[in-house]
Amino acid sequence: MTSSQDIDVRVLLADYEGAGRRALAGVLSSMTGVVLAGEVAERAELAAALRLARADVLVIDDRLLRDGGRALADLERQAPELRILVLGVDDDPAFATRAQHLGAEAWIAKDRAGEQLPALLQTR
């Protein structure tokens, strides 16, 4: 029998900013039990990347969700079991509440992603 600790979490990273995406990819790649299953820079690439990556978790920059609720609803229809973690510049509780209301599991400030992502990815 396999324990939940033996199962890798497959993560798709979506961030339009190359330097930020590379930094987060480094953080994710260094984490035990996490597989960086893919990276995208544009929202138009998401649907295909989700199919190919077979991701458990999508870590997505909030700027790729410009239309908010509709974008998250589209992602939930494409991959209903997908956990969505939204990255943003501001560490504002109002943004976190809005993201969760729209269906995201969590809102993470980019400057604290290295601290917060390990705990969020190890849950479930």
At 59, is the pLDDT very low, low, confident or very high (cuts 50, 70, 90)? Answer: very high
Mean pLDDT (the chain) is 83
Specify the pLDDT at position 124. Answer: 60
Specify the pLDDT at position 46. Answer: 87
State the Cα angle at 34 between 32 and 36, rounded to 5°.
Answer: 130
Domain boundaries, the chain: 8-121
Say which CATH topology domain 8-121 has: Rossmann fold (3.40.50)
Q: What is the pLDDT of residues 66-109, one digit of tens each?
A: 765 677 777 777 787 899 999 888 766 777 777 777 778 888 88
Chain position carrying tokens 């324990």: 3
**Percentage of residues of the chain with pLDDT beyond 90:** 28
The C-alpha atoms of residue 95 and residue 93 are separated, in whole angstroms, by 5
Measured over the CA atoms of residue 78, residue 96, residue 113 and residue 44, the dihedral's sign is positive
DSSP secondary structure of 15-42: -S-HHHHHHHHHHHHTSTTEEEEEEESS
